[in-house]
Amino acid sequence: MKERIETLISTSAIEKRMDELAEVINKDYAGEELYLVCVLKGGVFFMVELAKRITVPVTLNFMDVSSYGNGTESSGHIKILMDLDESIEGKNVLIVEDIVDSGRTLSHLVELLKSRKPKSLKLCTLLDKPERRVTEVEVHYTGFTIPDAFVVGYGLDYAQRYRNLNYIGVISFEEE
């Protein structure tokens, strides 16, 4: 099978949108400290670029949660592969994700982190595919709402590849 990638969101559009999101986040958290939780691996590119635009005191933290296998469909099975290494009690936690699809991963993660008593807990995602939602999840900051297509780039992978593309593309498969 031949893989074809068509640009959906350009690098400049992503950068402009991150400027806008950061402006809102900086206002919302004025006078506060922000504890970013990146969901590995897809959230890395977005979190790093977003963090560069944050002007309130901020720390970068990582968790690894698995929900997908090597295909393009959610398994509905979620596992914490790597946890935070400190307490988040009393902190302003902002989860940074690449994409909210079925919502299963995030709703699970939100419940888990809520139980650890943060001061506040919000969710920021680069992409949202609302048509695919199976589990309700409240998203506070969204980069782009996209149609139901499998996308790669800017952290998003297909079978672990294409995360390094500096744009978002729709991947399709053709017989050779």
Residues that bind ligand IMP (CB under 6 A): 42, 67-68, 74, 97-106, 150-152, 156-157
Burial of residue 105 (number of CB atoms within 10 Å: 0-12, 13-18, 19+): buried
Q: Are 88 and 125 in contact (CB under 8 A)?
A: no
Q: Is 101 a catalytic residue?
A: yes
Decide whether 92 or 102 has the Cβ nearer to ligand IMP.
Answer: 102
Give me the least distance between CB of 125 and ligand IMP, in Å please: 8
Q: CB nearer to Mg ion: give 29 or 99.
A: 99
Alpha-carbon distance of 61 to 45, in angstroms, equals 13
Which of ligand IMP, Mg ion, none is residue 128 near (CB under 5 to 8 Å by kind)? none
- Rounded to a whole number of angstroms, the minimum distance from the CB of residue 68 to ligand IMP is 5
Closest CB to ligand IMP among residues 47, 97: 97
At CA 46, angle to CA 1 and CA 95, rounded to 5? 115
From residue 70 to residue 109, the character string flagging contacts with Mg ion as x (rule: CB under 5 A) and all else as - is ----------------------------x-----------
In angstroms, rounded to a whole number, what is the distance separating the alpha carbons of residues 74 and 144?
Answer: 20
State in angstroms the smallest separation of the CB of 55 from Mg ion: 26
144 close to 130: Cβ distance less than 8 angstroms: no
Q: Which does 103 bind (CB under 5 to 8 A by kind): ligand IMP, Mg ion, none?
A: ligand IMP
Decide: is 42 part of the binding site for Mg ion (CB under 5 A). Answer: yes
Catalytic option among 28, 83, 98, 101:
101
Single-letter amino acid, residue 30: A
CB of 89 to Mg ion, least distance (A): 25
Active site residues: 101
